[in-house]
Amino acid sequence: MQKALLIKSAMTAGLVLALTVPLGMVDQLVRERAGRQHAVEAEIAASSAGAQTLLGPVLVLPYTQVYTESYWADEPVSGGTQRLRRTREVKKEGQTLIMPQLAQITLAGDTAVKRRGLFKAMMYDLDGVIEGHFEIPTRPEVDRQRNGKITWKTPYLSLGISDTRGVVRAPALEWDGTGYNFRQGARLGNTVPNGIHAELPSLIPDQTPSDTPNAPRIISFRIELGFRGTQSVGFVPLAENTQVALSSTWPHPSFQGRFLPNTDTQRINADGFHAEWEISGLATTAAAALRADLAAGRTRGSECAEWFGVRFIEPVNVYSLVDRALKYGILFIGLSFAAFFLFELLKSLRIHPAQYLLVGLALALFFLLLLSLSEHIDFTQAYLVATLACVGLQGFYLSHVLGSTRRGLSFAALLSMLFAALYGLLVSEDVALLMGSLLLFGLLALTMVLTRKLDWYALEPKRE
């Protein structure tokens, strides 16, 4: 008897390992569907507008500097060449950036789900204003050469936008009380390739090195802007004082980046969310990083500087939840087989390995049902339907295998408890470890209670 028990134990363990194959096939299918979901998000973003990041506004002051420089030249003379010192006029183009002293960004809007077949992507539509003021020095800092004369060209206000296809309404600029139109392109080189700009009237008079600087001018601005994007929106804090107020009807925001919103202004409820940020220029190197990237000609887009923002996330990602559930699949099968084994010992039943295998396959198919159903209906509903199907089938089958309807229903009730515990693990990620530990401890305690009077030596033939 003891030898037969060992063989049955080994076969049961082998069946558990064999059932990792169908579980692995379901896991591969989950990964494929999740990959398709990401591909659809990218396709929708490619055909509409992707994740948006706002950079600026930035006041750009282009200039031309003319100066003379001396150099050595080898010139021909009778009998050879002579090295002589000459001078020449050099004309050099440059630009200097002025960041706003204050930039207040106020945006609000709605979200919408774009579908492509079974897959979808979250899109948002935001409207609002960017307002504040610049402090314009009469003598901006430039890489001035000795005896150089600076001629200032037409200045412009630049606003970086990651994907200008998302600009759905013509933005309007009010500069020092006068309206101006925006044009395509940020005109910040390859560092910020996408965006819009508006040309402004002359701000700096032509100067010579002997000119005495006057007091700086304070010029206010206001930009009305409406844009849409996919999944997330971000901001780069370039001003001495950046203030952002963002509201949306989406109730599941995920705040990202280097700065979180002020806790006293953050509100999240069923009607949406509202969050506000206030960032001092002393807390960020975004402006310095932008100047350095422009000077070096680096191609980085809006990712060249620090940023913060919001991602509009799905509250229930069915693929991640099914993937997490699959991680407990082998545990479910092992516990079910252990319960079978106890039934055999306690009730002196004989259960064939093929019956073990059928029960294990039914448990593996639960995860396939959960995946396919959750793509069409709510995850909780899909979990309930898959559980009822699996438990009902097991209860019907085991009522005959175990020779009693009561035993079959008892086993089905045990499976129901396991599925309920698994659902609790899935929806309570923060306490999943605690719940899992309590579940395993409870099952071990139950096994010990049920087998406390079992004479394990009685399973072995007595020695003469």
Residue 404 CB neighbours (<10 A): 14
Per-residue burial over 198-236, b = 16 or more CB atoms within 10 Å of its CB, e = otherwise: bebeebbeebeeeeeeeeeeebebbbebbbbbbbbbbbb
Q: What is the pLDDT of residue 99?
A: 92
Q: Are 318 and 269 in contact (CB under 8 A)?
A: no
Task: Report the Cα 87 to chain-centroid distance in Å.
Answer: 58
pLDDT score of 205: 67
440, 391, 393, 388: which is closest to 413 by C-alpha?
391
**Torsion sign across C-alpha atoms 289, 291, 297, 301:** positive
What are the structural domains of the chain? 2-38+318-459 (no CATH), 50-66+89-312 (2.60.40)
202-250 residue pLDDT tens:
887 655 555 555 678 899 999 999 998 888 899 999 999 999 999 998 8
In this predicted model, what pLDDT tens digit does every residue of 324-352 receive, in sequence order?
Answer: 788 777 877 777 777 777 776 666 667 77
Query: Which residues, listed in sequence order, are joined to residue 222 by a DSSP beta bridge?
Result: 131, 174
Indicate the pLDDT class of residue 69, thresholds 50, 70 and 90: confident
Determine the residue type at 144: R
Is a pLDDT exceeding 70 seen at residue 431?
no
Decide if pLDDT at 462 tops 50.
no
Q: How far apart are CA 214 and CA 203, in angstroms?
A: 13
Q: Are strands 195-199 and 253-257 parallel, antiparallel or unpaired?
A: unpaired
pLDDT of amino acid 174: 92
Q: Give 253-310 pLDDT, tens digit per residue.
A: 888 888 989 888 888 888 889 999 999 988 888 888 888 888 777 776 445 558 899 9
* C-alpha 365: how far from chain center: 31
